[in-house]
Structure 1
Amino acid sequence: MIHYQLLTSHQEIVAKSHLITTAGSPLANALPSLLMQEMSAQAETGELADTTFHCAPLARLTIVPQSDWQDTLTDTLVNHLRPLLAAPRSEHVVLDCSYSPHLVVVRKAVRFIFNLAHNLDDLGLKKTTNRLRVTQLSLYCHEEQKPSLEALIREEHAIAYGMIAARRLADIPSEQCTPQFVVDEAQRLCADFQSLRCEVLDEQAIVEQGLGLLHAVGKGSARPPRLLAIHYDGVKEGPVRSYVGKGITFDTGGLWLKEGAGMYTMKYDMCGAANVLGLMLTIATLALPVRVMGVLALAENAIGPNAMQPGNVARACNGLTVEINNTDAEGRLVLADAIAWASQRHAHTRYIIDMATLTGAVVKALGYELSGLMTQDENLRQALTQAGEQSGDEVWSLPLDARLKKQTDSAIADLCNTPGNNAAISASAAWLLHHFCPQSIPWAHLDVSGTALWRESGKSVASGRPIPLLLRHLLNDLR
């Protein structure tokens, strides 16, 4: 992980660091030079000013237009930093916060820099040469800014720790990242925290406990399914907050086979589960006074002699039966069983939030910047929406009511897993899922198909979202 500190004097800035500031900031004014004046004038026109020449004792000087430090919507500051730090000129980055930028913008920038601690080269699957990497982040600020920035950077460091764990796991190829591998990695990571304990259901226990939907999805693979529950007890008593993640370690579509192009990124169909693990690690890192359970529903949706067939009917652990009329709609099946299982575990569950790369339809509706939120609980809807705005990891609400009932009607079972008319795919999936959480427990579904991956230059990598959203929501809920 990248180390961090707060600075309150420009004399504390180490030589050969990369300073990122803005025209007119107190720090910029404290470092007068002809170069600074020229670059500031350029930044005041709305253009980024950046140089690695004649800026000693700095290794690099970047002046970002003031308006970009206030842009919470389009991530202009992070978009500036991305190419600058792809091949950094210094191990030490100094982010100037003395101009009082918008705190959400600072959060996003700090989060981005901390996440530089992981990239695909770290998986060891590609020959690489040693290159310079950022190892230290400093925030320059006034004394009166320190309390708020200290809390911000501590939270973001913990969030990034969880995001990196989730991203790394999701980036691993599926031939290695099987359901059992996810369990092993989770147990290894959780072993660093006495407050975390893991409970594992193997394929036999899954059948014995009646998780027929999870079993149906996983039984076609030579790599059997698992249900992993991670328990965190930051206090001895109190309600449990539960998070459920879809963990399809690879999705062929089953007998409803995907085309090749659609299958290429399907190792990332377990991002929901990976992010539940990352969130649990973040919570443990911050030692929050709360009880939490994270449930990872893990399976590989494969083709084999025992693969589920269109028209099969499976029974969930809450007794409901589901007609499987599309084997490529497997994520909602494993989620449904996991939600029902989680709802039965504790006498008092404050809420259940599930997350999944569930439907391509949500990407068509909301694009790649917003996660889809579906819930019938207005308090939970408002709280998650607010947390998204505060964290910069935003959601957008889609409808979820009885008008969707026909989309999950089945002639042979209680429900079917996909609508026959191919309409309202994202909301229909959520309508199916809501049957598996008792009405007494507030529940929300996050479809992160658009946000769980970061896409750049035609390539996709795991993003770690929505961990920032969920951590902010939890912190707000604890107030």
Structure 2
Amino acid sequence: MARVPLPPVPSRLVEVEVLDAVRRGALEAVLVPQPEDDAELELIAGVRPSGKAGDVKQVPGDSPVRWLVGVGKGKPENYRAAGAALARAADSYFEHEPVKALQIALGEDATAETARELAMGVMLGGYRYKVSGEEPKPRLKTLRLIPRSEDVPAFAEAVSRTRELAAAAALARDLANTPSNVKDPAWLADTAARLADGLPGLTATIRDERWLAEQGFGGVLAVGGGSASPPRLIELDYKPRGAAGHLLYVGKGITFDTGGLSVKPADGMHLMRTDMAGGGAVIAAVRAVAALGLKVRVTALVPAAENHVSGSAYRPGDVVRHYGGKTTEVANTDAEGRMVLADALAYGIKRFKPDAVVDVATLTGAMKVALGLRTGGLFASDDDLAARIAAAGEAAGEAWWRMPLLDAHAEAVKGDLGDVKQVPTGPGGITAALFLREFTGETPWAHLDIAGPARADRTYADVVPGGTGFAARTLVELAAAYV
């Protein structure tokens, strides 16, 4: 039988079920809260747990209780970390045992939020993406949660919604992790169209390089001009009946970034397969919004291109004309993300006339310096939109920090040879956002710079190395807040 060369997209996640009673003889995990003081917890099945969030101890012997899982002080992030750690421990155990399911009897103080965060951790903590010629190892397949019987419907509803949020994050990870010898703009576009197929109210339209040239997408064509794989514009439109509003999401879709003629250093270039993490988050979020049937229209645009080095690559010193006519004087071909976003922002706002627009991009190294690797930068022209995004991030468990759009640097964006400068002087993250603002007009707009948290080099909480799927859940929660 022929082997599938890549893991499936989307990945299969752990199935989380909510039942009304424990199953006799099934393996169990016990949730253990951390005591308020430093007192030791009592032995459980002969093992002393710590109760610290994410601390998992395996119980030896034939007892059905196989794991003791610390849930810390019971905060949402504690349950998420506990679920993730349990999933990884169970996967390791099941590599040597045939059983692939476990159950947790939830305590009297458990809430639907408890179940939601625990399920999120389990589904994402066990995420794996590996291109291999070996048969996949056995893994945890099913987690059964058993709340108090009268709470089963509420808990089941919470877990069902969480499943779509986790699937969005996992899909964004899949797209980011797919190697770029497979993931060119056409592959990303075709995959997005396939993922949209069959979801009520969701349509996909793929624009090719001819259409982009006819419409004047100079930024996308310039960035993609150095590659043998031509660019695409991915257009996903979710239009439910009785929609409460209309959001436009724009995601950077650079499927690989060499830096172009302003070539990047070799160290770290292999990570540039994830330079379309913003586009992946946007695709995954709109798919989840449609799957949840939210009554808000959401349109997603992903300008997809490869930034390569060749005789047809764009150059520092070029002047590029964007959709709508505005021109940019190019200083550094490695600042390619803003070039493709400018086209998509101008086009999306003119064509769709949304109530608000949010762009998402791995845009600047400056944001990694400013905020580190676990917090996204939030820029916004509208205070209400900024507050909505911050609240959505909190609900999703993703951290955002609002950054200033300083008028003191606005003049630096103005061009000499063209209308605007691609790389203005001043603080890099802020001036990049100010550049993008030039293409948004009066529409309420937010820019999410995820250069730091879009990828991880080690495991923490529900994150594993590789693409993290950051921003996908925030975008879903933002759309839900407009219903």
* TM-score bracket, shorter-length normalisation: 0.7 to 0.9
Q: Does 1:120 align with 2:120?
A: no
> Do the aligned partners of residues 133 and 317 (structure 1) sit closer, same or farther apart at CA in structure 2, a change above 3 Å counting?
same
**Preserved contact between residue 20 and residue 96 of structure 1 (Cα < 8 Å):** yes
Q: Which residue of 2 aligns with 1:369?
A: 374
Out of 437, 442, 445, the residue aligned to residue 444 of structure 2 is 442
Instruction: Compute the displacement of 1:172 (Å).
Output: 1.4
Report what 1:17 is aligned to.
27
Of 455-464 and 349-358, deviating more is 455-464
Deviates more, 1:284-293 or 1:95-104: 95-104
Distance 1:44 1:265, change over 3 A: closer
Alignment pair present for 1:386 and 2:391: yes
Indicate the residue corresponding to 2:334 in structure 1. 328
Does the CA-based 8 Å contact 1:249-1:300 persist in structure 2? yes
1:20-419 aligned within 5 A: 20-22=30-32, 36=44, 38-39=46-47, 42-43=49-50, 48=55, 50-54=57-61, 56-58=63-65, 60-64=66-70, 66-67=72-73, 69-70=74-75, 72=77, 76-77=81-82, 80-81=85-86, 83-89=88-94, 90-98=99-107, 100=109, 107-115=116-124, 118-121=127-130, 125-143=131-149, 145-146=151-152, 148-235=154-241, 239-347=245-353, 349-419=354-424
What is the CA-CA distance between 1:237 and the residue it aligns to?
Answer: 5.6
Q: 1:361 to 1:100 in 2, by over 3 A?
A: farther
SS of 1:242's partner is: strand
Does the residue aligned with 1:72 lie in a helix, a strand or coil? helix
Q: CA deviation at 1:360?
A: 1.5
Q: What is the CA-CA distance between 1:389 and the residue it aligns to?
A: 1.4
For residue 127 of structure 1, report the CA deviation from its aligned partner. Answer: 2.8
Q: Distance in 1 between matches of 2:78 and 2:399?
A: 10
TM-score between the two structures when normalised by the length of structure 1: 0.88
- In structure 2, give the amino acid aligned to 1:388: G
Q: What residue is the counterpart of 1:466 in the other structure?
A: 471
Q: What letter is aligned with 1:36? A: I
Retained in 2: the 8 A contact 1:72–1:105?
Answer: no
Structure 1 residues 46 and 272, CA, compared in 2 at 3 Å: closer, same or farther? closer
Partner of 1:453: 455
Deviations 1:7-38 (A, max 9, x none): 343xx24534241412599xxxxxxxx95265
| Alpha-carbon separation, structure 2, partners of 1:468 and 1:189 | 17
User: Aligned partners of 1:284, 1:49: CA distance in 2, in Å?
Assistant: 36
Tell me: CA distance 1:195–1:261, structure 2 relative to 1, closer, same or farther (3 Å): same
**1:134 partner amino acid:** L
Q: TM-score, normalised to structure 2's length?
A: 0.87
> Is the CA contact (8 Å cut-off) linking 1:116 and 1:134 kept in structure 2?
no
Q: Is the 8 A contact 2:372 2:452 kept in 1?
A: yes
Post-superposition shift, 1:132? 2.1
Q: What is the deviation of 1:187? A: 1.5
Counterpart code for 1:453: R
The runs of 5 or more residues in structure 1 that have no matched partner are 26-33
Q: Flag structure 2 segments of 5+ consecutive residues without an equivalent.
A: 1-11, 36-41
Whichever residue aligns with residue 64 of structure 2, its letter is: P
- The whole-number CA distance in structure 1 between the counterparts of 2:102 and 2:401 is 34
The AA in structure 2 aligned to 1:433 is: L
Contact 1:332 1:429 in 2 (8 A): yes
Contact 2:80/2:120 (8 A) holds in 1: no
Q: Percent identity?
A: 28
Contact 1:318 1:340 in 2 (8 A): yes
Q: Can you list the C-alpha shifts for 1:73-129, whole angstroms capped at 9, x where unaligned?
A: 8965356436424514352243454354687675444223223675223xxx31334
Offset at 1:55? Answer: 5.0
User: 1-side partners of 2:124 and 2:85: how far apart?
Assistant: 15
- Between Structure 1 and Structure 2, how many residues are aligned? 458
Q: 1:268·1:462 contact (CA, 8 Å) conserved in 2? A: yes
Deviations 1:320-367 (A, max 9, x none): 1111111000001111111111101224x1211111111111111111
The one-letter code matched in structure 2 to 1:359 is: T
Q: Pick the structure with more helix per residue.
A: 1
Q: What one-letter code is carried by the residue in structure 1 that aligns with 2:177?
A: D
Whole-angstrom distance in 2 between the partners of 1:438 and 1:45:
49
SS at match of 1:120: coil
* Distance verdict in 2 for CA 1:104–1:415, change over 3 Å: farther
Cα RMSD (Å) of the superposition?
2.7
Contact 2:88–2:126 (CA<8 Å) still a contact in 1? no
Rate the CA distance shift 1:24–1:319 in 2: closer, same or farther, 3 A.
closer
Partners of 1:414 and 1:77 in 2: how far apart? 52
Q: Residues 407 and 418 of structure 1 are in contact (CA less than 8 Å); yes or no, is this contact kept in structure 2?
A: no
The residue number in structure 1 matching 2:6 is: none
TM superposition shift of 1:406:
3.5
Look up the match of 1:31.
none
Query: What does residue 7 of structure 2 align with?
Result: none
Q: 1:44 to 1:418 in 2, by over 3 A?
A: closer
Distance 1:451 1:13, change over 3 A: farther
Q: How far apart in 2 are the matches of 1:106 and 1:308?
A: 51
Task: Determine if contact 1:108/1:392 at 8 Å carries over to the other structure.
Answer: no
CA deviation after TM superposition for structure 1 residue 453, in Å? 1.5
The answer to whether the Cα contact below 8 Å between 2:233 and 2:303 also exists between their aligned partners in 1 is: yes
Deviation per residue, 1:233-262 (Å, 9 max, x gap): 122665321111000000000010001013
| Residue pair 1:367, 1:450 contacting (<8 A) in 2 also | yes
Q: For residue 433 of structure 2, what is the amino acid of its counterpart?
A: A
1:203–1:225 contact (8 Å) kept in structure 2: yes
Q: For the Cα contact (< 8 Å) 2:322–2:342, is it kept in 1?
A: yes
How far apart, in 2, do the equivalents of 1:252 and 1:457 lie?
27
| 3-state DSSP of counterpart to 1:184 | helix
